[in-house]
Chain A
Amino acid sequence: MTEPLLSIEGVSVDLPTARGPLKAVDKVDLVLAPGRTLGIVGESGCGKTMLSRAVLQLLPKRAKLGGRILFAGRDMARLSPEELRRLRGPELAVVFQDPMTSLNPVLTIGTQIVETLQAHLGMDGTVAARRGAELLAAVGIPSPEQRLRQYPHQLSGGMRQRVAIAIALSCEPKLLIADEPTTALDVTIQAQILDLLAREQKRRHMAMILITHDLGVVAGRTDEVAVMYAGRVVERAPTGQLFARMRMPYTQALLAALPRLDAPPHTVLPAIGGRPPDPTRPLPGCSFAPRCRYADLTCRNDKPLLRDPEGAGALHACWHPLP
């Protein structure tokens, strides 16, 4: 077994709100080996973004972090701001949903790439500019020299996301966190960007966390998938195994709720009734119990832990797992 690159141990994130503390992430354990891809799937408010922000140490100021995050053997919470700055970029990089939030609108693309390369790799200006053009070409941007002189608003959404990916890859990170990288993009562009990420991930032997709400996005492009609901990981398994046999009723319901391409029009979708619980009012039992058709008294009273009862490498948090 290789040494994990990232290990998330019992991580919780609490956010103070006017209505009391909000448990955004609740005792999550995850490990990621070098060069592997982990998909984190869940709906809005399930805590997937907060978890990634905890890894990046980019949590809101008032957030309370519990547990431990080890990246390449280092305890992230104990690093000084200077150590973190040196880590982000060369070792740990991120691509956000909206590239406009990570690109500076008043600087040219070139300035932003060159700055990154100068700051982290100590390249001089000319070398960095040449490397910048290479990076843009590598992520599929036509006429890269010209693009370097342009501003973010002059590019389409897909092109901007390519630039954000080029910047994230520029320092050859060991781990790339892609947080809904294609949600804001059109479907044909989405496929291109996912292909690009998969190609660069393999080529660079880089580990990747792909965060998405779309089971279709993780299906063909991850080694392992963790499904989150109400702040917890409720199921985690190698991707093929998960799709072949979903044990947690929520995962299965989430898949069933997607319109199927092979179903005729006007097929009634098996929708999940109700909605996720209020995160400021945690439930004593399973968070999915109020929406689950298999739930009984045990589910309502006792929280199921994520476990692997069969030792098959597939974990689920459920009192009545599906066969």
Chain B
Amino acid sequence: MTPLLSVRNLVVEYAIGGHTLSAVSDVSLVVARGETLGLVGESGCGKSTLGRAVLQLRRPTSGRVTFDGKELTTLDGEALRLMRRRLQLIFQDPIASLNPRRRIGDIVAEPLVIAGVTDKAEREKRVREVLTAVGLDPDLVLGRLPHEFSGGQCQRISIARALILEPEFVICDEPVSALDVSIRAQILNLLEEMKRRYGLTLLFIAHDLAVVKAVSDRIAVMYLGKLCEVGPTERLFKAPAHPYTALLLEAIPVPDPTVRPAANVPGGEPPSPLAPPSGCRFRTRCPRADVQCAAEVPELRNLGDGQFAACHHPLI
């Protein structure tokens, strides 16, 4: 079966004061129709840039992005605009991503206006439908402004706006990290429900592995612009192959005092993406690193059962 989305050898570089920052370097991944792929990594690892490059909001430096058999990197103008209806994005900061001076009804209807739905009654009908679907009462919200809503409600509004054109593919970029725990669970449940109802395929970007686990069929782990590991969610949690995945798992604070917090999580911090280490980019923090890790860039290798890791000395 051909995947809905396929990213091949994607590179995104930024020029910063005479230097080249390679935010995404040579990343390849696929997302099957109906699947949720979780993309995990720490700040600055390039996960958001990757998401934006998929949507062509940031043009990749090289590589290919194929969606439903069509190459997106060469699309522009009207063709790209039409394609974008099928791919949508939900942002982290739900309040900042809504125009503070426009009414909720207009915010949610805007994609329809842009898509050329001229019938006002038709637009209102669809706005009401999607607002109801995300758990809001249209009569109570249509005429109000974003500041009248809490973070969780604004995120519901953002989701409604992303879904109104009935896209096939939605990128959720840290959709719950600005929300309180009790609200976070509501929004995660809502995303799962919307996925079923609208038959969505999701790329779910987050730094929190526990959150990613709750919604993802497979998980991809990124570090300093490169993929470390990709695999089915449960497998990755039970038997991480890349030491960085293992470190991320160990660092999750577990709400159970009988589980001792990992004593002395390996120290160090991610190096500057302007000067990534030679060979394996994780080697400066890796307890297993040796000369080979400094000399050779590890390729993503198939470990069986859908698990791939880019490591010279995998844990399994």
Q: Which residues of A are in contact with B by a Cβ distance under 8 Å?
A: 43-44, 140, 156-159, 186-192, 194-195, 213-217, 219-221, 239-240, 243, 253-255, 257-261, 263-273, 275
Asked whether, in the complex, the Cβ of B183 is within 8 Å of the Cβ of A275, the reply is yes
Q: Is the CB of A271 within 8 A of B185?
A: yes
Tell whether B74 is near chain A: CB-to-CB under 8 Å: no
With A44-B180, A191-B262, A269-B189: A219-B214 Cβ-Cβ less than 8 Å: no
Q: Is there an interface contact between B267 and A140, defined as CB atoms closer than 8 Å?
A: yes
| Distance of B273 from chain A, by nearest CB (Å) | 12
Chain B residue at smallest Cβ distance from A198:
B261
Tell me, yes or no, whether B54 is within 8 Å of chain A by CB: no
* B271 → A minimal CB distance (Å): 10
Kindly state whether residue B109 has any CB partner on chain A within 8 Å: no
Beta-carbon contact of B214 and A267 below 8 Å: yes
* A270 and B185 contacting across the interface, CB-CB below 8 Å: yes
Give the Cβ gap from A162 to chain B, nearest Cβ, in Å.
Answer: 10
Q: For residues 245 through 291 of chain B, which have their beta carbon under 8 Å from a beta carbon of chain A?
A: 247-248, 250-265, 267, 269
What are 5 pairs between A and B in contact, CB < 8 Å?
A188-B251, A216-B255, A265-B213, A265-B234, A266-B214
Which of B211, B234, B252 lies in contact with A264, CB distance below 8 A? B234
Provided the pairs A195-B264, A269-B214 are in contact, do residues A216 and B252 lie with their beta carbons within 8 angstroms?
yes
| Smallest CB gap from A267: residue in B | B214
Cross-chain contact B248 with A188 (CB below 8 angstroms): yes
Binary contact readout B215-243 vs A (1 if CB under 8 angstroms, 0 otherwise): 11100000000000000011001000000
Chain B residue, CB-CB nearest to A156: B269
For the complex, what is the distance from the CA of A264 to the CA of B152, rounded to whole Å?
A: 25
Q: Which residue of A is nearest B251, CB measured? A: A191
- Closest-by-CB residue of A relative to B192 is A266
Bound Cα distance A187, B152 (Å): 23
B184, CB-defined interface residue at 8 Å = yes
* Given A213-B181, A219-B259, A259-B210; 19 other pairs, CB 8 A cutoff: A140-B267, A158-B269, A187-B208, A187-B209, A189-B269, A190-B251, A191-B251, A213-B180, A216-B253, A219-B257, A240-B257, A243-B258, A254-B181, A258-B255, A261-B252, A261-B254, A265-B215, A269-B189, A275-B182
Beta-carbon contact of B185 and A272 below 8 Å:
yes
Residue pair A268, B189 in contact (C-beta under 8 Å):
yes
Return the contact of B182 from the options A194, A253, A264 (Cβ within 8 A). Answer: A253
CA distance A177 to B245 in the complex (A): 32
B150 within 8 A of A: yes
CA distance in complex: A266, B258 (Å): 26
Known: A213-B180, A215-B255, A273-B186. A195 touches B263 (CB 8 A): yes
**How far is B266's CA from A140's CA once the two chains are assembled, in angstroms?**
12
Please tell me if the beta carbons of B185 and A269 are within 8 angstroms of each other in the complex: yes
B267: chain A residues within 8 A (beta carbon): 140, 192
- In the complex, the answer to whether A220 meets B189 with C-beta atoms within 8 Å is no
A261 and B254 CA atoms in complex are apart in Å by 8
Q: How far is the CB of B212 from chain A (nearest CB, A)?
A: 9
Q: How far apart are the CA atoms of A43 and B179 in the complex, in Å?
A: 9
How close is B299's CB to chain A, nearest CB, in angstroms? Answer: 24
- A239/B257 contact (C-beta < 8 A), A261-B213, A267-B214 known: yes
**Contact indicator B152/A275 (Cβ below 8 Å):** yes
A contact residues around B43 at 8 Å (CB): 157, 186
Residues in B whose Cβ lies below 8 Å from that of A192:
265, 267
Chain A residue nearest to B216 (CB atoms) is: A265
* Top-9 shortest CB links A-B: A216-B253, A271-B185, A259-B214, A186-B42, A272-B182, A257-B185, A43-B180, A269-B185, A220-B261
Residues of chain A lying within 8 A (CB to CB) of residue B250: 191
Which of B214, B234, B248 has the most A CB atoms < 10 Å from its CB?
B214
A94 to B126 alpha-carbon distance, docked (Å): 51
A322 to chain B, nearest CB (A): 16
Within the assembled complex, what's the spacing in Å between the Cα atoms of A267 and B250?
A: 22
* A215, A261, A271: the one within 8 Å of B237 (CB): A261
A217 & B253 in contact (Cβ 8 Å cutoff): yes
Give, as a whole number of angstroms, the nearest-CB distance from B146 to chain A: 16
Specify which chain A residues have a CB less than 8 angstroms from the CB of B233 in the assembled complex. Answer: 265
- By beta carbon, the residue of chain A nearest B208 is A187
Residue of B nearest to A46 (CB): B180
For A262, give the chain B residue with the smallest CB separation.
B237
Task: Tell me the minimal C-beta distance from A288 to chain B in angstroms.
Answer: 11
Contact between chains at B185 and A243 (CB < 8 Å)? no
How far does the alpha carbon of A191 sit from the alpha carbon of B213 in the complex, in Å?
Answer: 19
Is the pair B42, A188 in contact by a Cβ cutoff of 8 Å?
yes
What CA separation (Å) do A44 and B234 show in the bound complex?
A: 32
Q: How far is the CB of B46 from chain A (nearest CB, A)?
A: 14
- Bound complex: CA A267 to CA B257 (Å): 23
Chain A residues within an 8 Å CB radius of B32: none
The reply on B188 being an interface residue by CB < 8 A is yes
Listed residue (B42, B210, B257) with the most chain A CB atoms within 10 angstroms of its CB? B257
Given A254-B181, A259-B210, A261-B210, residue A219 in contact with residue B256 (CB < 8 A)? yes
A255 to B253, CA, bound (A): 13
Q: Chain A residue with minimal CB distance to B188?
A: A269
Q: B184 contacts which chain A residues (CB < 8 A)?
A: 257
The reply to whether A243 and B255 contact each other, CB–CB distance below 8 Å, is yes
CB distance from B118 to the nearest CB of A (A): 37
- Is A191 a contact partner of B256 (Cβ separation < 8 A)? no
B42-A216 in contact (CB<8A):
no
Chain A residue at minimal CB-CB distance from B285 = A188
- Name which residue of chain A comes closest to B233, CB basis: A265
Distance between B265 CB and nearest chain A CB, rounded to angstroms:
4
